[in-house]
């Protein structure tokens, strides 16, 4: 039963992402600065750093699954979020082998991960012609606000979930050999 | 060690191939979404509805408190307006009866003006901001079909892009491109009406582009109302779209382009009306009618 908790949290984040944008005050959404919520990815960063062991890849697997769901529900162009979430989650998971997991490493990896995810998604969108973007405008109007907003969300999630994720890891992954094929 | 590296590279390559395949698959013109997609959308939509209802109730209470402050002023203005409306209502009633009578004598009962409204609530907005779409809480179960026009009390906001069983996604006017044209008109009292097409949304100036095909003798003025003309065969006539802001010649100098400001604030949509056009006789022309240029 406890194993379902993480997918449930991810699903909830996915659902709230869209509702929040509808309910947020209008003045926040208008104007030149645009921020995109990557709450699912922020949680994936925490999963990759605190939940996954060296030989398990739950964060990558959830990245594939919930990235695909984001694609279906919010964009209609399959594969974009799926691939970028999973790929960057894999990278972050790889980095945790080099660095010891603590607060600053989490923030650093989260920020770098978000920058890469954003650029990756927009690269694909601009190649496929969904978005017309001038890179200079994009950096100022979109990338910076997006990364700041999502790092703020990471700061909120960090104290809530870090200890729990480590506990769940000890409980659930001690004998698990699934998802370590990658 | 080398074997592991090769394995990783292999997986990455397969991933890229799958990615390209999926994008190619979803970018092609699909008529219907797969059942799996619809199911996922409905599930997420159901959960969103679950969260949206109480939250919007709470925000609604705050908004109401805000509104109460202005009530006195508004009441005064509205009372004046009501007096005007009464005479207007009488006129409209007369005209309607006249119209019905004349139609009867012509034996032409269907009009491109008529439609059935379906009420719906917006439950979420796409978190990817490149894609201007919202989700509403009505689907094919409630009679919603692809390409139906969606409006609020103020004017048109978009069209139904993909309906699933219990929810549907709506493409907002701000996301319209050359594949989603609306035939539109500016109605004039004495001269010929201006006809043209809404050809898409210009992100730089934040206006809809209205290409004028048939000019009128009199020049366009700022603030003139642009309505849907119903000629495209998809949207009914008379939906308010926006107001003219500026007129410019297009890049070839052959036609002119009017910049139209949408009437509805696209970031502040809560309740919408999905418009089902009453048009039993020429269903076959629907769907591709708007795309022709």
Listed by start position, the domains of chain B span 36-109, 112-279
Give dist(CA B131, CA B125) in Å, integer: 9
Judge: A78–B22 Cβ closer than 8 Å, yes or no: yes
**Amino acid B283: pLDDT:** 44
How do residues A127-143 score in pLDDT, each as one tens digit? 887 777 778 888 888 88
H-only helix segments in B28-177: 35-106
Query: Residues B180-231: pLDDT tens digits?
Result: 788 888 887 777 788 888 888 887 778 888 888 877 666 777 888 888 887 8
Question: What pLDDT was estimated at residue A151?
Answer: 92
Evaluate whether B152 touches B176 at the Cβ level (below 8 Å).
no
CB distance A130–B130 less than 8 Å?
Answer: yes
Interface contact B19-A132, CB threshold 8 A: no
Residues B217, B237: Cα–Cα separation, whole Å:
23
CA distance to A88, A92, B93, B124, per residue, from A98 (Å):
16, 10, 78, 40
Does residue A99 belong to any structural domain of this protein? yes
Compute the distance between CA of residue B138 and CA of residue B46 in angstroms, rounded to an integer: 11
Q: Is A126 on the interface with B (CB under 8 A)?
A: no
Please state the separation of Cα B244 from the chain's center in Å.
18
Nearest-neighbour CA in chain B from A68: distance (Å) = 10
- Three-state secondary structure call for residue B107: coil
- Chain B residues with CB inside 8 Å of A71's CB? 26
What integer pLDDT is reported at residue A42 of this predicted model?
93
| A74/B162 touch (CB, cutoff 8 Å), yes or no | no
A180 is a domain residue: no
Q: What is the rounded average pLDDT for all residues in chain B?
A: 81
For B14-42, the pLDDT digits (tens) are 888 988 888 888 877 676 778 888 888 88
Longest dimension (CA), chain B: 88
- In 3D, which of A120, A18, A178, A62 has the Cα closest to residue B135? A18
CA distance B177 to B197: 12
Q: Identify whether A102 is part of a domain.
A: yes
CA dist., res. B198 & res. B239, Å (int): 13
Q: For residue A154, what pLDDT is reported? A: 92
Phi, psi angle pair for A87, to nearest 5°: -65, -45
**pLDDT level of residue B287 (50, 70, 90 thresholds):** very low
- Name B84's Cβ contacts closer than 8 Å, sequence gap at least 6: none
Residue A98 lies in a domain: yes
pLDDT at B290 over 50: no
pLDDT score for B229: 84
A-B Cβ pairs (cutoff 8 Å, strict): 114
**Identity of the residue in A22, A72, A83 whose CB atom sits nearest the CB atom of B125:** A22
Asked if the Cβ–Cβ distance from B51 to A73 is below 8 Å, we say no
- Hey, how many other C-beta atoms are within 10 angstroms of the C-beta on B62? 9
Residues in chain B: 293
Q: Encode burial over B5-38: b for 16+ CB neighbours within 10 A, e otherwise.
A: eeeeeeeeeebeeebeebbeebeeeeeebeeebb
Domain that includes residue A14, residue range: 2-21+41-172
Which tens digit of pLDDT belongs to each residue from B100-131? 888 888 876 667 677 788 889 888 888 777 78
Q: How far apart are CA A39 and CA B101, in angstroms?
A: 59
Residues from chain B that touch A76, judged by Cβ atoms under 8 A, are 26, 131, 133, 161-162, 169
Half-sphere exposure of residue B129: CA atoms within 13 angstroms, side-chain side: 23
Question: Residue A31: inside a domain, yes or no?
Answer: no
Top-confidence residue, A30 or A91: A91
List the beta bridge partners of residue A135: none
Say whether A21 and B127 touch across the interface (CB within 8 A).
Answer: yes
Given CB atoms, is A36 within the 8 Å cutoff of chain B? yes
Is the sign of the CA dihedral B75, B81, B87, B90 positive or negative?
negative
Q: Least CB-CB distance to B44: which of A73, A82, A128?
A: A73
How far apart CA A168 and CA B12 sit, in angstroms, is: 29
pLDDT band, very low/low/confident/very high, at B292 (cuts 50, 70, 90): very low
Q: Which of A26, A35, A74, A84 to mutate to test the interface with B (most CBs of B within 10 A)?
A: A74
Residue A30 burial by CB count (10 A; 0-12/13-18/19+): exposed, middle or buried?
A: middle
Of B48, B130, B161, which is closest to A15 when you measure between CB atoms?
A: B48
Between chains, do B15 and A83 touch, taking CB under 8 Å as contact? yes
Within a domain: A137:
yes
Residue in B15, B37, B129 nearest the CB of A36: B129
Could you tell me which residues are beta bridge partners of residue B257? B211, B248
Check A26 against B125: CB less than 8 A apart. no
The tally of domains found in chain A comes to 1
Least Cα separation, residue A82 to chain B (angstroms) = 8
Is the Cα torsion angle A154, A155, A157, A163 positive or negative in sign? Answer: positive
Q: Across the interface, which of A11, A18, A131 has its CB nearest the CB of B127? A: A18
Residue A154 CA, chain-centre distance (Å), reads: 10
- In CATH, the architecture of B112-279 is Beta Barrel (2.40)
Query: CA of A50, closest CA in chain B: separation in Å?
Result: 23
């Amino acid at each position: 039963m406890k194993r379902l908790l993480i997918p449930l949290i991810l699903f909830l984040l996915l659902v709230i992402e869209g509702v929040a944008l509808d309910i947020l005050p209008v003045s926040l959404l208008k104007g030149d600065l645009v921020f995109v919520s990557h709450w699912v990815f922020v949680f994936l960063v925490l999963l990759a750093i605190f939940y996954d062991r060296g030989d398990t890849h739950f964060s990558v697997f959830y990245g594939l699954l919930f990235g695909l769901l984001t694609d279906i529900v919010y964009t209609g162009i399959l594969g974009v979020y799926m691939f970028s979430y999973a790929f960057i989650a894999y990278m972050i998971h790889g980095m945790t082998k080099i660095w010891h997991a603590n607060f600053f490493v989490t923030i650093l990896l989260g920020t770098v991960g978000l920058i890469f995810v954003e650029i990756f998604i927009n690269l694909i969108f601009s190649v496929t012609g969904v978005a017309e973007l001038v890179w200079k405008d994009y950096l100022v109007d979109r990338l910076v606000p997006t990364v700041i907003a999502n790092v703020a969300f990471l700061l909120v999630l960090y104290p809530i979930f870090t200890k729990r994720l480590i506990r769940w890891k000890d409980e659930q992954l001690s004998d698990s050999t699934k998802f370590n094929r990658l | 060690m080398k074997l592991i590296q090769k394995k990783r590279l292999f997986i990455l390559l397969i991933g890229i191939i799958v990615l390209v395949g999926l994008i190619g698959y979803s970018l092609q013109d699909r008529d219907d979404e797969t059942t799996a997609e619809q199911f996922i959308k409905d599930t997420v939509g159901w959960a969103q509805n679950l969260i949206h209802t109480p939250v919007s109730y709470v925000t609604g209470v705050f908004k109401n408190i805000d509104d109460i402050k202005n009530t006195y002023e508004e009441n005064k203005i509205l009372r004046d307006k009501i007096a005007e409306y009464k005479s207007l209502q009488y006129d409209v009633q007369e005209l309607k009866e006249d119209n019905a009578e004349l139609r009867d004598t012509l034996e032409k009962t269907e009009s491109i003006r008529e439609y059935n409204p379906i009420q719906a609530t917006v439950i979420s907005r796409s978190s990817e901001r490149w894609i201007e779409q919202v989700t509403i809480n009505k689907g094919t179960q409630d009679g919603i079909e692809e390409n139906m026009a969606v409006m609020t009390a103020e004017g048109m906001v978009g069209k139904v892009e993909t309906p699933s069983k219990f929810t549907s996604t709506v493409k907002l006017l701000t996301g319209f491109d050359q594949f989603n044209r609306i035939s539109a008109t500016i109605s004039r009292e004495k001269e010929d009406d201006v006809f043209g097409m809404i050809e898409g949304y210009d992100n730089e100036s934040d206006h809809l582009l209205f290409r004028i095909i048939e000019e009128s003798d009199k020049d366009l003025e700022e603030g003139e109302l642009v309505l849907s003309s119903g000629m495209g065969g998809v949207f009914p006539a008379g939906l308010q779209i926006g107001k003219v802001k500026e007129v410019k010649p297009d890049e070839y100098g052959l036609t002119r382009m009017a910049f139209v400001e949408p009437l509805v604030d696209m970031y502040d949509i809560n309740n919408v009306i999905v418009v089902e056009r009453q048009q039993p006789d020429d269903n076959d022309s629907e769907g591709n009618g708007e795309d022709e240029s």
